[in-house]
Every structure is written in C-alpha cells, then in structure tokens.
C-alpha cells in the first residue's frame, strides 16, 4: 500500500496498540488521600459565580479568548 493511504489507518490502530501494549498504572493518589485537594483553598469554585466575572471584563478589552480553565482535582468522591 502507498504511504499516504497507510497513514489514514493510523488513528484506528492507535487505540488497539494502547490496549494491547502496556498495562495501565494504578492510580497513585488514593480516594482517602484527597483531603488537601478537597480543601476550599485548592478550589476555584470557592469563589462562586463571582470568580468567573473577571473573564467578561478581559474578554471585552483583550483580543485573546478561550482556554480559561477547566475544573478537576477536588475530593473526587463517588
């Protein structure tokens, strides 16, 4: 097969390789070790909706937009 058409199959092959290859590592931060990550000082959500407002201010004055931050960390409960 020509190189160009072979490359089209790569995205399909990748997941199979990942599954067949290495065994996944164990999560190293256990659910009962999340005390500090769950502390409000580590969470932007502590500020509530008021925390997001400043992005309106910058959005109206700056050309840059996007990638303002996603959530994660926290207690990871359930």
Partner 1 sequence: MAVTDRRPATVALLWMLLLMATGAHGATLPEDKVDAFYHRYEGGGMTIDGPSVLVRKGAGNQVSFSGQYYVDSVSAASVDVLATASPYTEERTEYTLGADYLEGNSILSLSYTNSSENDYEANTLYLGISQEFFGNMTTLTIGYARGWDTVMEVGNDSFEEEADRQNYQLGISQVLTPNSVMGLDFEVVTDEGFLENPYRVNRYVDPSDPTNYLYQPERYPDTRTSVSAAVNGRYYLPWRASVKGSYRYFTDDWGIDAHTVELGYVHGLGPNWTLEGGIRYYSQDQADFYSDLYDYANSQTHLARDKEMSTFSGITFSAGVQYQWEQISVPGVDRLQLGLLVDYLDFDYDNFRDVTASGDYLPGQEPLYGFDAWVTRASVLFEY
Partner 2 sequence: MKASNWAMAIILALGFLFSGLATADVSGTTAPDFTLKSRSGENLRLEDLRGEVIMLNFWASWCGPCRQEMPHMDAIEEEFRDYGFRVLAVNVDQNRDDAERFLESVPVDFAILWDHDSTVSELYDVQAMPTTVMIDRNGQARHVHHGYQPGYEDDYRTQIRELIRE
Residues of the shown chain interacting with partner 1 in the complex, contacts defined by CB under 8 A: 24, 26-31, 33-37, 39-42, 45-51, 53-54, 57-58, 61-73, 76-78
Query: Closest by alpha carbon to 42, among 68, 74, 67, 70?
Result: 74
Piece of 28-36, 49-57, 60-68 that binds partner 2 (CB under 8 A): 28-36
The answer to whether residues 78 and 34 touch, using CB atoms and an 8 Å cutoff, is no
Closest distance of CB 14 from partner 1, Å: 15
* Closest CB to partner 1 among residues 6, 33: 33
28: contact with partner 2 by CB under 8 A? no
From CA 33, how far away is CA 23, in angstroms rounded?
Answer: 24
The string of DSSP codes covering 23-46 is PPPPPSS-GGG-HHHHSGGG-GGG
Using CB under 8 A as the criterion, which residues of the chain lie in contact with partner 2 when the complex forms? 10-12, 14-15, 18-19, 24, 26, 30-35, 38-39, 75-78
């Amino acid at each position: 097969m020509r190189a160009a058409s072979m490359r089209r199959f790569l995205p399909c092959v990748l997941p199979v390789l990942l599954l067949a290859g290495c065994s996944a590592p164990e999560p190293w931060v256990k659910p009962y070790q999340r005390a500090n990550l769950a502390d409000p000082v580590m969470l932007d959500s502590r500020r509530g909706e008021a925390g997001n407002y400043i992005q309106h201010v910058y959005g109206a004055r700056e050309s840059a937009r996007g990638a303002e931050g996603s959530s994660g960390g926290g207690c990871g409960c359930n």
